[in-house]
Amino acid sequence: MDRTHSGLDQGGYLGSPQRRRLFRAGVGSLAALAAGGLFAGRVAEAKPIASPAEVPVVDRVAVRVVTDSYHHAFERGGTIAGVQVQRLGFAVAPRTPPRRTLQNEWGLALHIESTRGGETRQVLFDFGYTPEALLNNLLLAGIDASKLDALALSHGHFDHFGGLVGFLDANKGKLRNGLPFYLGSEECFCSRELNVPGEAGSFGALDREAIRAAGLTVTFAERPSVIADHGFTTGRIANESFERVLSPTRMAVGMQGALGCAPEKLSEAKRNLTVVPDDFEHEQATAFLVKDRGLVVMTSCGHRGIVNSVRAAMRVAGTDRVHAVLGGFHLAPHPIDYQRQTAMELKKLNPDVVIPMHCSGEAFIGIVQAEMPNRFIRSSTGTRFVFGA
């Protein structure tokens, strides 16, 4: 599919290809252009990965489940298959009655902290459904927004970006100037309608103005790319297995004021349409290559298929060693036989651990427990998983 763009944007569109070319010149050019008032927002392209040799290797990566739909205060921690599992139960302190507890909701937000030698990187990956749950849980987990090195969005669904605007408002003046905001493509900005039977209606749109006002640098990663020096995205995930892409949402093509997506920035197959069933070409998996352990692959929803997603990460990194697969696998809507087939194919990839979250579904969790009992780890809001030494 043609993913190139043509023409120059004469308006205030954030993702102009002209601006992208300018920003590839570097931060100095960014500052100069901003001073000259030549654009209304900051845009860049993530550093592409041309070969496995360019994939970063880290010593350790820790993933905190900031927001998800499940929390059990008595879930046990410990070490499973070399993964440290650190649970967050009750928010209590000496001589002070508790005032807060972790909040659960339909959505996902993850905090990722990676280390390589003496350097550390922190990324907030997705933002859950509401800012109330996100901000509450960030506070209880002790996560300082001022220390973040990047923000990242897996795909343009409200249960993954709904908390973003409230997070940006609550952290005005705290986030680093020009903080990178990684996302797959212009499709992330398209307005969407929920297409679930009996639940039709608006599913929101990513707020371009809030991103501008927060001073973020929108960083497109349409191909396999480096994230915050330590991790990488898969780029577009090919549909190359038995897995089927469901379309729980419809994507509206076009702009309404500052909301929506610019048609000319979409693929030729979509730019002349009005409404498109989501095929999630913009959704990507995020991965880290951990020294002596292998790949840690995160799929926030995995609409393109969890097996397809892991294979894409393996191909980018040039390795068949998978340490962990975690995140939403979007299997709950599928028939049980399909879920069982997915588990069997995932098992063939031989991950050390599998940690289903969000939209994976209890039926699939049960299958993984039965088929991979020594590899399954139950997720819980607040839990921190540490991969590596």
| Cα-Cα end-to-end distance for the chain | 41
Choice among 24-38, 139-153, 257-271, 357-371 with the minimum mean pLDDT: 24-38
**pLDDT confidence tier of residue 20, bands split at 50, 70 and 90:** very low
Query: Three-state SS for 229?
Result: coil
The reported pLDDT for the residue numbered 39 is 30
Burial class, 4, CB count within 10 angstroms (exposed 0-12 / middle 13-18 / buried 19+) = exposed
In the structure encoding, which two tokens stand for residue 179, read together?
């903080």
Position 40 pLDDT exceeds 90 = no
Domain ranges of the chain: 46-388
Percent with pLDDT over 70 in the chain? 89
The reported pLDDT for the residue numbered 17 is 40
Average pLDDT over residues 339-358: 98
Bigger pLDDT: 244 vs 200: 244
Average pLDDT over residues 102-120: 97
The reported pLDDT for the residue numbered 1 is 36
The reported pLDDT for the residue numbered 389 is 75
CA distance 8 to 375: 51
Any idea which fold 46-388 has?
Answer: Metallo-beta-lactamase; Chain A (3.60.15)
CA distance 344 to 188: 31
Query: Three-state SS for 221?
Result: coil
The reported pLDDT for the residue numbered 22 is 33
Element (H, E) at 109: strand 109-116
Position 189 pLDDT exceeds 60 = yes
- Give exposure, 116-153, as e/b (b: 16+ Cβ within 10 Å): beeeebbbbbbbbbbbebbbbbbebbebebeebbbbbb
Average pLDDT over residues 161-180: 97
Distance from chain centroid for Cα 241: 22
For residue 220, which phi and psi values (nearest 5 degrees)? -80, 135
CA distance 60 to 326: 16
Burial class, 115, CB count within 10 angstroms (exposed 0-12 / middle 13-18 / buried 19+) = middle
